[in-house]
Amino acid sequence: MKTAVEELTPTRVKLTIEVPFEELKPSLDKAYKELAKQVRLKGFRPGKAPARLIDQYVGRGAVLQEAVNDALPGLYGAAIEEKELFVLGQPEVEVTKIDDGKELEFTAEVDVRPTFEVPEYEGLPVTVDDAVVTDEEIAETLDNLRDRFATLTTVERAAAEGDTVTIDLSAVIDGEEVEDAATKGYSYEVGAEGAIEGLNEAIVGLSAGESKSFPSTLVAGSRQGEEAEVTVAVQSVKVKELPGADDEFAQLASEFDTIEELKDDVRKRLDRQKKMNQVGQARDKALEALLEKVEIPLPESVVDSEKARRNEQLDQQLAYAGLTREAYLAEEDKSAEEFDAELDEAARKAVAGGFILDQLALQEELGVENEELSEYVVTQAMQMNLPPQQLAQYLTENNQIPALVAEVLRSKALNLIVEHVKISDESGNELDLEELRKEINGETATVEVADEAESDEAAEVAEAEIVEEAPEAAEAKDEEGSSKA
């Protein structure tokens, strides 16, 4: 087999592949066997008809077409491996020549990962937020906790922002009531975000037994997105009363005896959260800083796929929240054009970032162990509130192990970058990421010890699900990485 590669763009190539006819023999033999099962020739049992008679019955062209279709994937894969190409997506294949008994020729156009070197990142400066807990933040956290223990008391006055009201809602379009837009006895906090447009303004000033109509766009149901005349009727008005921030509340809401002990615990938790945010910011900003040092050409097909994925994810979230795309954009105060521009920029950064991490994993010859895959599955399962073995089974059955290997490799490559950059907070204090992690873990040691046994057990179960397939996937990824630039 002979392969020539033509670079169409920095991210797309055209392969011209010439195959001697003898290399098609296994596929030709297979084609004859398959076609023999389908034809019925007098004097021959099914599947036993000789090749010459099959040629006469179905035509030599049909046999060649069957053989070529069978051989193309393997021939294309061999050409990619021979030329050490890192392909992205499916190729556009065209058979350009079939010279019976002599040669097959076909072309394949496909996107490829661009060739580049990862810039130097040793000592690259990265700035993260300060991890300072203020008294205002502690007070706000306590207020949120007190809000969870609040009581509602009915008042005989008009509704105001912050009150909780019980309301009935109905909607009419062109004189016809919209049944699935009506609700009764709905408890609603006046001023809440994400409400029907105009609802908050309509409720304020209404007392129990009063109602008001206003125009609005329906955000859910069979008439979603249509303009309607909405009527809200107030059944009752209640005011929220928070418990006092005292020792009695501390004993009610926590394991602490005094409010000062509760405040101290809140401070520690906020401090830990801020330090965790610093670690997350360090990872994100280290990659962003590296992206600024290199210009990477991006395949538009890959960018389009990433944009489509993000759009689909947003649509799912909006559907779950009962919002339209139009309502979401209005809430964000963005036009559709502004949103698309931001989405395009984010998608390009994500694709470029992935390329950098993939390339670094190749340069540093990073690998993935089964234990690392299992730990990743457990972590993802916990975030998705799923049993680890269920997620592991899903990934295995849906052939997602190679993608899992790639994700873990990228994470390891990013960890490598972060270990070598220079991290400072906004106040100019240089931070040691390892020390930050120790502080975070040290403050939650008692919790983590309790969780560790469960995590270890879950990891063992998850590993049992993927251990048979993972080595092959990891090996395939390593072979691909070591030979594809």
Residue where the block lists tokens 């954009």: 329
User: Would you state the pLDDT for residue 459?
Assistant: 47
Q: pLDDT by residue (tens digit) across 296-347?
A: 999 999 999 999 999 999 999 988 877 788 888 888 889 999 999 999 999 9
- Specify whether 419 is located in the same domain as 454: yes
Average pLDDT over residues 124-143: 95
Average pLDDT over residues 73-95: 91
Average pLDDT over residues 76-93: 91
What 3 state SS string does 68-137 have? HHHHHHHHHHHHHHHHCCCEEEEEEEEEEEEECCCEEEEEEEEEECCCCCCCCCCCCEEEECCCCCCHHH
Residue type at 345?
Answer: E
Q: Are strands 211-217 and 176-177 parallel, antiparallel or unpaired?
A: unpaired
- Specify whether 42 is located in the same domain as 169: no
- Specify whether 275 is located in the same domain as 372: yes
pLDDT higher than threshold 80 for residue 477: no
Q: To 5 degrees, how large is the angle CA 212–CA 214–CA 218?
A: 125
Q: Grade residue 46 by pLDDT with cuts at 50, 70 and 90.
A: low
- Specify whether 265 is located in the same domain as 167: no
- Specify whether 285 is located in the same domain as 408: yes
- Specify whether 46 is located in the same domain as 10: yes
- Length of the chain (residues): 485
User: Would you state the pLDDT for residue 57?
Assistant: 67
- Specify whether 478 is located in the same domain as 371: yes
Phi, psi of 23 (to 5 degrees): -75, -15
User: Would you state the pLDDT for residue 439?
Assistant: 86
Establish if 134 belongs to a structural domain: no
Q: Grade residue 447 by pLDDT with cuts at 50, 70 and 90.
A: very low
Q: pLDDT by residue (tens digit) across 226-269?
A: 899 999 999 999 999 999 999 999 999 999 999 999 999 999 99
Average pLDDT over residues 68-92: 91
- Specify whether 229 is located in the same domain as 266: no
Structure tokens at 335: 């036009």
pLDDT higher than threshold 80 for residue 48: no
Helix (H/G/I), strand (E/B), else coil: 420: helix
- How crowded is the C-beta side of 213, counted as CA atoms within 13 Å? 7
Q: Are 462 and 377 in contact (CB under 8 A)?
A: yes
Establish if 19 belongs to a structural domain: yes
Q: Grade residue 38 by pLDDT with cuts at 50, 70 and 90.
A: low
User: Would you state the pLDDT for residue 41?
Assistant: 60
pTM score: 0.70
Structure tokens at 190: 């006046």
Q: pLDDT by residue (tens digit) across 163-172?
A: 999 999 999 9
- Specify whether 236 is located in the same domain as 263: no
User: Using CA atoms, how far apart are residues 19 and 100, in angstroms rounded to an integer?
Assistant: 12
Share of the chain above pLDDT 70, in %: 87
Establish if 29 belongs to a structural domain: yes
User: Would you state the pLDDT for residue 42?
Assistant: 59
Share of the chain above pLDDT 90, in %: 58
Q: Grade residue 93 by pLDDT with cuts at 50, 70 and 90.
A: very high
pLDDT higher than threshold 70 for residue 452: no
CATH value at residue 11 = 3.30.70.1050
Q: Are 178 and 222 in contact (CB under 8 A)?
A: yes
Identify the residue with better confidence: 457 or 485: 457
Domain that holds residue 59: 2-112
CATH value at residue 170 = 3.10.50.40
Average pLDDT over residues 62-91: 89
Average pLDDT over residues 28-51: 68
Q: Grade residue 454 by pLDDT with cuts at 50, 70 and 90.
A: very low
User: Using CA atoms, how far apart are residues 474 and 373, in angstroms rounded to an integer?
Assistant: 10
User: Would you state the pLDDT for residue 40?
Assistant: 62
Q: Are 82 and 2 in contact (CB under 8 A)?
A: no
User: Using CA atoms, how far apart are residues 22 and 418, in angstroms rounded to an integer?
Assistant: 53
Establish if 309 belongs to a structural domain: no
Establish if 161 belongs to a structural domain: yes
User: Would you state the pLDDT for residue 151?
Assistant: 92
Average model confidence (pLDDT) across the chain: 86
pLDDT higher than threshold 80 for residue 472: no
Establish if 254 belongs to a structural domain: no
- Specify whether 368 is located in the same domain as 235: no
Q: Are 66 and 34 in contact (CB under 8 A)?
A: yes
Q: Is 458 exposed, middle or buried (0-12, 13-18, 19+ CB in 10 A)?
A: buried
pLDDT higher than threshold 80 for residue 419: yes
Q: Select from 90, 112, 134 the last residue of a domain.
A: 112
Q: Are 179 and 208 in contact (CB under 8 A)?
A: no
pLDDT higher than threshold 50 for residue 458: no
Establish if 136 belongs to a structural domain: no
User: Using CA atoms, how far apart are residues 18 and 2, in angstroms rounded to an integer?
Assistant: 5
- Specify whether 20 is located in the same domain as 78: yes
What 3 state SS string does 195-232 have? CCCCHHHHHCCCCCCCEEEEEEECCCCCCCCCEEEEEE
Q: Are 413 and 366 in contact (CB under 8 A)?
A: yes
* Total domain count, the chain: 3
* Closest among 256, 249, 253, 198 to 227, alpha carbons compared: 198
**In the chain, what is the straight-line distance between the N-terminal and C-terminal CA atoms, in Å?**
22
Structure tokens at 356: 């950098």
DSSP 27-79: HHHHHHHHHHHH---TTS-TT---HHHHHHHH-HHHHHHHHHHHHHHHHHHHH
User: Using CA atoms, how far apart are residues 316 and 314, in angstroms rounded to an integer?
Assistant: 5
Q: pLDDT by residue (tens digit) across 173-211?
A: 999 999 888 999 999 999 987 678 899 999 999 999 999
User: Would you state the pLDDT for residue 282?
Assistant: 94
- Specify whether 179 is located in the same domain as 101: no
Q: Select from 112, 137, 162 the last residue of a domain.
A: 112
